[in-house]
Amino acid sequence: MTAAVSSDRDQILRWIEEERDEIVRFLQRLVRARSPNPPGDTRAAAAVVQERLDAEGLPYRIVAPNPEMPNFVGTFEGGGGPGRHLVLNGHIDVFPVAGDHGWSRDPWSGDIVDGKLYGRGAADMKPGTTASIVTYALLHRLRDRLPGKLTLTAVSDEETFGPWGARWLMDHEPEVLGDCCLNGEPSGPNTIRFGEKGPLWLRFTVRADGAHGAYTHLTKSATLVATQLIGALGQIEDLAVELPHNVMSAMDEAREASDAAMGAGAGAITDKVTLNVGLLEGGVKVNMIPSECHFEADIRMPPGMTRERVMAEVDRILADHPGVEVEETGCSPPSYCDPYGPMVEILQRNVQALRGHRPTPIVGLGGTDARLWRYRGIPAYVYGVFPHGMGSHDEHVDIEDFLHVVRTHALSAYDYLTAK
Ligand SMILES: [Zn+2]
């Protein structure tokens, strides 16, 4: 490491230490600025972000194809000549709050208790978006000697996979593409996500003649056919995936880390198709044979699986259940990139130095905007805080973990741009 590089890296860590209270206060204000999606109006949170960008004198534009869901895009070129283009990505919308049941604090309080900051978005993903903004600000101060280019994208409309956020930018603002994307979605400090599963949502409709509940000899029952079909659909979980050797071996090596990050058993399903029937409705009355039943299946496809292969298997199973209709209501393909790419090595080295352990590259079970970069062949990695209470009650972040993610992102972005 040259003297200039090591002093820049020290400077980055010093700034984070000196401005620590300000960074935490910014996260607190961002959590207090309600931005539940649905409905997805993020203007209050965007005002907090804008104030921060303005206070730092940072370059940015607002791209708001939907005026209630603004996105920030900022870019600067370093003065150190041509080089790599890194894109930082985070979202400012959050899950809604279904009443304050189970919350020990007001879900929009941003209260800090025992080193933890509470509120909706306090894990997913206002800390990660803050890490992106702080990284953008600190590297901008060093821009005169940085090679390459850094782009910040702080977006709306992520939680519903909506069209007005990163998806819009991908299609209309080509400068957000870059050579690599770094994202701070909650993942836990021990893992780096290089891929994620993708949902395929199917709605099934079963119809029968129906009859008096005692006359079972007269008609099939729509609910009975549906339950038999659901049992048979379990066969899609046996579909095997084909992946490049290095991705397969990364997924094998990640089983333990996946269990630790996402709960025991997670490692066993990262490379498997899973089926969840999230909704089932049928029948009118206890003593009538149902003439109609609907159910909706949430199928999660691992990297290496395609919608076409799953649908071919579904069609094969449906051949034994004539008259059942199926409709696709949503699909987002799985994605992955190089599990051992340059950014992974950089993140591992920095976490090793900051925390004394090497995070493991894993595949996430849920969806993030990082997939949109991978779809375009751009490597995209997720490194973020532990998801305490994500999508549930008492969502919170450990402030030390949050600051660790800020340090890791800022140093890793610097290293990525300055790597020879
Ligand atoms: Zn998220």
Over residues 164-202, the pLDDT tens digits come to: 999 999 999 999 999 999 999 999 999 999 999 999 999
How far apart are alpha carbons 325 and 217 in whole angstroms?
24
pLDDT at residue 359, rounded to an integer: 97
What DSSP string describes 124-177?
TTHHHHHHHHHHHHHHHHTGGG--SEEEEEEES--TT--SSSHHHHHHH-GGG-
Are 166 and 332 spatial neighbours (Cβ–Cβ below 8 Å)?
A: no
C-alpha 325 – ligand 1 centre gap (Å): 33
C-alpha 159 – ligand 1 centre gap (Å): 6
Phi/psi-derived region of residue 102, left when phi > 0, alpha when psi is between -120 and 50, beta in every other case? left
C-alpha 259 – ligand 1 centre gap (Å): 20
Over residues 318-338, the pLDDT tens digits come to: 999 988 999 999 999 999 999
C-alpha 197 – ligand 1 centre gap (Å): 14
C-alpha 91 – ligand 1 centre gap (Å): 7
Angle among Cα 27, 187, 101 to the nearest 5 degrees reads 65
| Domain layout of the chain by residue ranges | 3-196+334-418, 198-331
- Bridge-based pairing of strands 292-301 and 274-282 is antiparallel
C-alpha 25 – ligand 1 centre gap (Å): 21
pLDDT at residue 102, rounded to an integer: 87
pLDDT at residue 140, rounded to an integer: 98
Q: By percentage, how much of the chain surpasses pLDDT 90? A: 94
C-alpha 291 – ligand 1 centre gap (Å): 40
C-alpha 299 – ligand 1 centre gap (Å): 20
CA distances from 218 to 17, 207, 214, 409 (A): 76, 14, 9, 66
Q: Tell me whether the CATH fold assigned to 3-196+334-418 matches the one assigned to 198-331.
A: no
C-alpha 193 – ligand 1 centre gap (Å): 13
Amino acid type, 14: R
Mean per-residue pLDDT, 124-128: 97
Q: By percentage, how much of the chain surpasses pLDDT 70? A: 100
Mean per-residue pLDDT, 267-281: 96
Over residues 30-63, the pLDDT tens digits come to: 999 999 999 999 999 999 999 999 999 999 999 9
C-alpha 46 – ligand 1 centre gap (Å): 16
pLDDT at residue 4, rounded to an integer: 78
**pLDDT score of 1 more than 70:** no
What DSSP string describes 80-123?
T-S--EEEEEEE--B-----STT-SS-TT---EETTEEESTTTT
The CATH code of the domain at 3-196+334-418 is 3.40.630.10
Are 176 and 73 spatial neighbours (Cβ–Cβ below 8 Å)?
A: yes
Average pLDDT, the chain: 96
How many Cα atoms occupy the beta-carbon half-sphere of 17 within 13 Å?
6
C-alpha 211 – ligand 1 centre gap (Å): 47
C-alpha 110 – ligand 1 centre gap (Å): 18
**Under CATH, what is the fold of the domain 198-331?**
Alpha-Beta Plaits (3.30.70)
**pLDDT score of 5 more than 80:** no
pTM for the whole thing? 0.94
C-alpha 138 – ligand 1 centre gap (Å): 24
Examine residue 39 and say whether the peptide bond preceding it is cis (omega within 30 degrees of 0). Answer: yes
Question: Residue 126: which pLDDT band, with cuts at 50, 70 and 90?
Answer: very high
Mean per-residue pLDDT, 361-378: 96
C-alpha 71 – ligand 1 centre gap (Å): 15
C-alpha 216 – ligand 1 centre gap (Å): 49
DSSP annotation of 241: P
C-alpha 233 – ligand 1 centre gap (Å): 30
Mean per-residue pLDDT, 107-119: 97
C-alpha 90 – ligand 1 centre gap (Å): 8
Are 117 and 399 spatial neighbours (Cβ–Cβ below 8 Å)?
A: yes
How far apart are alpha carbons 75 and 87 in whole angstroms?
9
Are 350 and 415 spatial neighbours (Cβ–Cβ below 8 Å)?
A: yes
Angle among Cα 376, 328, 201 to the nearest 5 degrees reads 75
* DSSP H or E stretch at residue 274: strand 274-282
C-alpha 328 – ligand 1 centre gap (Å): 24
Over residues 69-106, the pLDDT tens digits come to: 999 999 999 999 999 999 999 999 999 998 878 899 99
pLDDT at residue 2, rounded to an integer: 74
pLDDT at residue 98, rounded to an integer: 84
C-alpha 359 – ligand 1 centre gap (Å): 20
How far apart are alpha carbons 95 and 80 in whole angstroms?
41
Angle of helix 399-418 relative to helix 3-18, nearest 10 degrees, comes to 150
**pLDDT score of 205 more than 90:** yes
How far apart are alpha carbons 387 and 403 in whole angstroms?
15
Question: Residue 248: which pLDDT band, with cuts at 50, 70 and 90?
Answer: very high
CA distances from 331 to 33, 197, 310, 366, 374 (A): 31, 11, 12, 13, 16
C-alpha 124 – ligand 1 centre gap (Å): 5
C-alpha 133 – ligand 1 centre gap (Å): 16
